[in-house]
């Protein structure tokens, strides 16, 4: 071999080795998985999760899931969307606690190694409170409950109708009056930014939105405009939206049925709605389309336990000339209905809706004496027994609905101050720790927690 030829060959081999090594580095670098906490640039996450892992290419799901570990250990469910996987904890995370996720190396679907892995620590943020205020021209506000002032999130000139928060706490969807006399749906992030119309409804009324547990689907109520000025809109019907492409379709329903107050079970297997004309709750099994009907149901909020095994609802009872509600429960395994308090006096107490806490340790039940309906209380009952904690609202104030904080330590209460000619809505918060209630917002309504 001539010297010049040898040098050329060595140069070629050296360059090839460099290119090959650079290629290995580039592949390892580009295919290395990335971990991001859902939507929060400050590294926090809500009590319900999820933790989102974004791989740079399609991965073998079983191997990828096996490569993901948590400190402390967590139980939950992985849900995939292409190369993106979300981990949803089966129980709420501890507020104020740090969790670490570790991803070891693994292989892509084609067998290629996807890198050395990633470690990321994140903090579970404290829940905040959302509400609408003032009651006559409502906008949405966010309150941190740390002594700082509330922050206004929307600026619609008082056109907000209602709203819902997804489990991650990163998305808020609200309905608002439009310029055509109808109500449309809008979506924004938790800071009130990036607000955009997700469903223009024209003259129709699109209200009562609710997210699926994973935040990828939406159920809402649509009432068609009749086109006749001054006339009432058509029957309320339940519609569904795929938030990925914003396509919509009606939920299959009998033409004679109305549908309002849709709600998903926590596992996403069931969708319920209320038929006001028939006094029925319809449970639709989404995987099959099969339907179960609960008769004599009152038009009060329903509530699922966190494991989706029990549905709490009110049944209407009649004794001579007295009509009242009892608290019933439907079991998803047996498909049977039973009373929650079978030994309680039937005729003396009107039992209102029940609210199981997210951690499954408490049940808040609204009750009132039939002869004194103004004397409403919430009883917070431990699942392990023991004395109930009573939240008493003194007359003439009226107790409305309530909601548990994600960490199961507080109840947000809607209270109406009825001491004057017009009831003033206020929001109060009851603490499980000190059994004390404080007013946090005046002329405010529809409190909901933001994880």
Q: Phi and psi of 190, rounded to 5°? A: -65, -20
Give the SS3 label for residue 233. coil
Pair 447, 433: CB distance under 8 Å: no
**Mean pLDDT in residue range 409-433:** 88
To the question of pTM greater than 0.85 for the whole model, the response is: yes
**What value does the mean pLDDT of the chain take?**
86
Among all chains, which residue has been given the structure tokens 């596992």? 267
Among all chains, which residue has been given the structure tokens 């009056």? 177
Q: Which secondary-structure segment (H or E) carries 238?
A: strand 237-242
109: pLDDT strictly greater than 60: no
Q: Phi and psi of 60, rounded to 5°? A: -70, 115
CA distance 208 to 263: 9
Pair 401, 301: CB distance under 8 Å: yes
Per-residue pLDDT tens over the stretch 355-364:
999 999 999 9
DSSP string, 154-168: --SSS-EEEEEE-TT
CA distance 398 to 423: 9
CA distance 206 to 138: 17
446: pLDDT strictly greater than 50: yes
Quote the DSSP letter at residue 92.
P
Pick the range with the lowest mean pLDDT from 310-314, 342-346, 359-363, 380-384. Answer: 342-346
373: pLDDT strictly greater than 80: no
Query: What's the confidence (pLDDT) of residue 229?
Result: 64
Pick the range with the lowest mean pLDDT from 91-100, 401-410, 417-426. Answer: 417-426
Query: What's the confidence (pLDDT) of residue 313?
Result: 98
Pair 57, 31: CB distance under 8 Å: yes
Give the SS3 label for residue 349. strand
**Residues found in the chain:** 451
CA distance 126 to 95: 6
Pick the range with the lowest mean pLDDT from 31-45, 47-61, 189-203, 377-391. Answer: 31-45
419: pLDDT strictly greater than 70: no
Highest mean pLDDT among 116-130, 174-188, 314-328, 387-401: 174-188
Query: What's the confidence (pLDDT) of residue 133?
Result: 98
List C-alpha distances in Å: 231 to 100, 139, 225, 226, 261: 58, 28, 9, 7, 23
CA distance 216 to 257: 26
Pick the range with the lowest mean pLDDT from 114-128, 137-151, 399-413. Answer: 114-128
CA distance 185 to 398: 31
β 337-339/118-124 pair status: unpaired
Strands (E), 38-157: 44-45, 51-54, 68-71, 76-81, 84-89, 98-103, 118-124, 128-133, 139-143, 151-152
* Cis ω before 72 (30° cut-off from 0): yes
CA distance 179 to 424: 29
**Mean pLDDT in residue range 408-429:** 87
Looking at per-residue confidence, does 62 or 265 come out higher?
Answer: 265
Query: What pLDDT band is residue 165 in, cutting at 50, 70 and 90?
Result: very high
**Mean pLDDT in residue range 64-71:** 90
Residues facing 76 on adjacent strands:
89
List C-alpha distances in Å: 236 to 24, 210, 220, 259, 313: 59, 15, 10, 5, 21
* Cis ω before 317 (30° cut-off from 0): no
Query: What's the confidence (pLDDT) of residue 414?
Result: 95
Give the SS3 label for residue 20. helix
The whole-angstrom distance between residue 115's C-alpha and the CA centroid of its chain comes to 35
Query: What's the confidence (pLDDT) of residue 23?
Result: 40
CA 305, 168, 219, 77 torsion: positive or negative? negative
Per-residue pLDDT tens over the stretch 1-60:
545 444 443 333 344 443 333 443 444 444 455 544 444 667 899 999 998 888 777 778
CA distance 431 to 268: 30
**Mean pLDDT in residue range 324-336:** 95
Pick the range with the lowest mean pLDDT from 8-12, 89-93, 337-341, 440-444. Answer: 8-12
Give the SS3 label for residue 430. strand
Pick the range with the lowest mean pLDDT from 172-181, 290-299, 342-351, 364-373. Answer: 342-351
289: pLDDT strictly greater than 80: yes
The share of the chain scoring above pLDDT 90, in percent, equals: 63
DSSP string, 363-390: EEEEEEETTEEEEEEEEEEETT-SPPEE
Query: What's the confidence (pLDDT) of residue 25?
Result: 42
Best CA proximity match to 368, nearest among 352, 382, 380: 352
CA distance 263 to 353: 15
């Amino acid at each position: 071999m001539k010297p010049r030829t040898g040098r050329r060959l060595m140069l070629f081999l050296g360059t090839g080795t460099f290119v090959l090594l650079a290629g290995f580095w580039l592949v390892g670098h580009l295919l290395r998985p990335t971990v991001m906490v859902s939507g929060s640039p400050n590294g926090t996450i809500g009590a319900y999760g999820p933790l989102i892992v974004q791989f740079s290419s399609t991965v073998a799901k079983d191997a990828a899931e096996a490569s993901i570990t948590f400190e402390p250990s967590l139980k939950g469910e992985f849900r995939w969307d292409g190369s993106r996987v979300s981990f949803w904890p089966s129980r709420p995370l501890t507020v104020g606690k740090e969790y670490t996720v570790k991803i070891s190396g693994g292989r892509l679907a084609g067998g290629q190694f996807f890198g050395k892995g990633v470690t990321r620590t994140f903090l579970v943020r404290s829940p905040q409170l959302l509400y609408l205020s003032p009651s006559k021209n409502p906008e949405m506000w966010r309150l941190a409950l740390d002594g700082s002032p509330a922050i206004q999130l929307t600026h619609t000139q008082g056109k907000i109708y209602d709203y819902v928060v997804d489990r991650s706490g990163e998305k808020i969807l609200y309905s608002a009056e439009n310029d055509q006399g109808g109500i449309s749906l809008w979506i924004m992030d938790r800071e009130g930014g990036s607000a955009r119309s997700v469903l223009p409804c024209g003259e129709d009324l699109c209200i009562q939105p609710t997210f699926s547990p994973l935040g990828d689907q939406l159920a809402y109520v649509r009432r068609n405009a009749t086109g006749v000025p001054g006339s009432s809109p058509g029957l309320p019907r339940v519609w569904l939206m795929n938030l990925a492409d914003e396509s919509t379709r009606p939920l299959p329903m009998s033409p004679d049925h109305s549908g309002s107050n849709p709600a998903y079970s926590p596992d996403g297997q069931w969708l319920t709605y209320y038929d006001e004309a028939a006094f029925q709750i319809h449970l639709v099994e989404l995987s099959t389309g099969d339907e179960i009907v609960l008769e004599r149901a009152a038009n009060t909020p329903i509530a699922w336990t966190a494991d989706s095994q029990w549905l709490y609802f009110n049944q209407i009872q009649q004794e001579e000339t007295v009509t009242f509600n009892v608290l019933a429960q439907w079991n998803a395994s047996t498909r049977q209905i039973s009373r929650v308090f079978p030994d309680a006096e039937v005729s003396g107490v009107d039992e209102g809706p029940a609210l199981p806490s997210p951690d499954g340790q408490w049940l808040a039940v609204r009750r009132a004496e039939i002869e004194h309906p103004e004397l409403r209380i919430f009883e917070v009952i431990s699942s392990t027994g023991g004395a109930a904690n009573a939240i008493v609202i003194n007359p003439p104030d009226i107790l409305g609905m309530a909601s548990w904080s994600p960490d199961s330590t507080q109840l947000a209460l809607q209270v109406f101050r009825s001491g004057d000619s017009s009831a003033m809505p206020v929001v109060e918060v009851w603490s499980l720790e000190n059994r004390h209630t404080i007013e946090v917002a005046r002329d405010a309504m529809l409190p909901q927690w933001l994880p």
